[in-house]
Amino acid sequence: MTIGIRSRGRLFATWLLASSFGAASVAFAASAPAPQDPGPVAPEGFRFERLEDAIKIEPGVRIEVLNLFGDVRARYGGRDDVLGLLSIAQQFADEGPEVEVVHRQDGDTLRIEVGVREREGAALHTVPEPGQRKRADLVLFVPDGRALGVRTGDGLVQLRGLRSDATARSASGDMQVRSIRGSLDLASDSGDLVVILESLGLDAEQRFAVGSGELQLHLREDGDYAVEARARGRIRTEYSLEVGPTGRDGARTARAVLGDGTTPVRIDAGVGLLRLLRKPSAEVARMAPEDDA
Amino acid sequence: MSRRPGTAWARVAALFALLATVPASAEAPLWSAKAKKPCSLVLELPAGDLELRRKRGDAQVVAEPGQWTVDAVAENDALHMRVAIAEGHAAGDASPVRLELPRHCALAVRGGTGRIDIHGRHAAPLEVETTTGEIVLWAESGADLRVDLATSGEMGTDYSIAIEHRHHREPDKHGVVVLGTGDIAARLASRRGPVSVLARERANGH
């Protein structure tokens, strides 16, 4: 089942580009009223297309998103067997074929891809041409238990509140991930990665990697993790660490065990900065003196 | 800090034989003295960055002439020194102050918001405090240090570190890094700034 709502029109380029649009801001964009203070005006010929879809998705079906044209944000989408998909595609009218967001079921996988076609009926090209200015940002509302896979180029990956496993890969995009009730496997070649990791008692390995960006991992101080990190760059920590000797490649291994160490956490921080940070327990936060609250 | 009269300066002379105080060029020290054993220096640096280097020979403060002022008095068997930004200059614009001190001299630094880098081999206790300024101790290979760290910020390390959390206190963390025999005590404390013990041989890339 697919329910599509399309709207097309002009909006202010800077608003679209600067907005960290969530559902609310997307909804705001839909009406596109003439504001009192329009701010910067979009260049002549600039256009955008906003698309909303509700896609039926059976339990056990995995979602794979390929978007090398922009950002991907995912939020918890409830218990119904429906994936919510919002997209905003934007480009200049003289830039040739429109950027498209398509989805198709491929066995046990629902694939959502962003790309362009040279002509109607031609294959979708998912890799942007160098120098092109087309862009498409996606927001997904992921129902309970549907594993999510995301791949971006330089676009942001932002995952919040999902109740499912998630993997993400990016060439140079940043990742911001928090409150995920499932396993995580995240890697960005040159982007930064910020993760607030829940303590769920999972025995599946949680994997995080960056090449040259900063990897910032927040761990609950009342959690149960066994962290093993490999780093060639600097390490900053709020937890005790056992640091091994430096290898020939300049890398060393750092280990930390929190609580009973139930959940293995594997980190490859490349040459970037690794920060292991403390997320205070609810009890500690509750006991905070008033002047510190 | 105002200078104390005659008797205080006599005690300074007992600890450090004053050589020269007049800068002649950018490389000339703002302050210089011969450090005898034992010697102890308390350095107050409310703003600006500091680089400590352990060197044989004279104790000296090297800085861009005109940007900094140095006042020193002897007090309780230690030389107390205040290094401050000269009038008309801002801490953010000033080049770092370099303190060169023999390794047998105990040192206590009371810093502020500036960064403090500590180099060289230490054969006497070392104590460095800041409010929010970053502190980095660059440990030489084969160092015999026990480094106590305290901050509510982050702790950087190239070595194993034991960290204890102190909820609702500031600083809210205490860390210990032991290098070699741990014979020489070093204490690095900041209220909120990052505090690090890094390996000198890994300095490239830091």
Provide the residue type at B139 as one letter.
A
B7 pLDDT band, cuts 50/70/90, is low
DSSP characters over chain B: -PPP-HHHHHHHHHHEEEEE----STTSEEEEEEEPSSEEEEEEESSS-EEEEE-SS-EEEE--TTTEEEEEEEETTEEEEEEEEPTT--TTTSPPEEEEE-TTEEEEEEE-SS-EEE-S--SS-EEEEESS--EEEEEPTT--EEEEEEESS-EEESS-BEEEE-TTSSS-EEEEEEETT--EEEEEEESSS-EEEEEGGG-TT-
Count of A–B CB contacts within 8 Å?
Answer: 60
CA distance A174 to chain B (A): 22
Give tens-digit pLDDT for B104-118.
999 999 999 999 999
pLDDT at site A31: 41
Tell if the CB–CB gap between A235 and B158 is shorter than 8 Å.
yes
B141 at the A interface (CB within 8 A)? no
Q: Are B71 and B82 in contact (CB under 8 A)?
A: yes
Is B196 touching A (CB cutoff 8 A)?
Answer: yes
- CB–CB contact A235 B194 (8 Å): no
A290 touches chain B (CB under 8 A): no
- pTM for the complete prediction? 0.83
Residue B204 pLDDT class (50, 70, 90 cuts): low
Q: Is the Cβ pair A241, B173 closer than 8 Å?
A: no
Write out residues 227-266 of A within 8 Å (CB-CB) of B. 232-243, 246, 250, 252
Element (H, E) at A265: strand A263-268
Eight-state DSSP code of residue A241 = B
Q: What is the ipTM score, two decimals?
A: 0.81
pLDDT tens digits, residue range B116-154?
999 999 999 999 999 999 999 999 999 999 999 999 999
Domains of chain A, by residue range, sit at 1-154, 174-293
Q: In what order do the strands lie in the sheet with B173-179?
A: B68-75, B78-85, B39-45, B105-111, B126-130, B184-190, B145-151, B173-179, B162-165
Q: Is the pLDDT of residue A45 over 90?
A: no
Task: Say if the Cβ atoms of B167 and A252 lie within 8 Å.
Answer: no
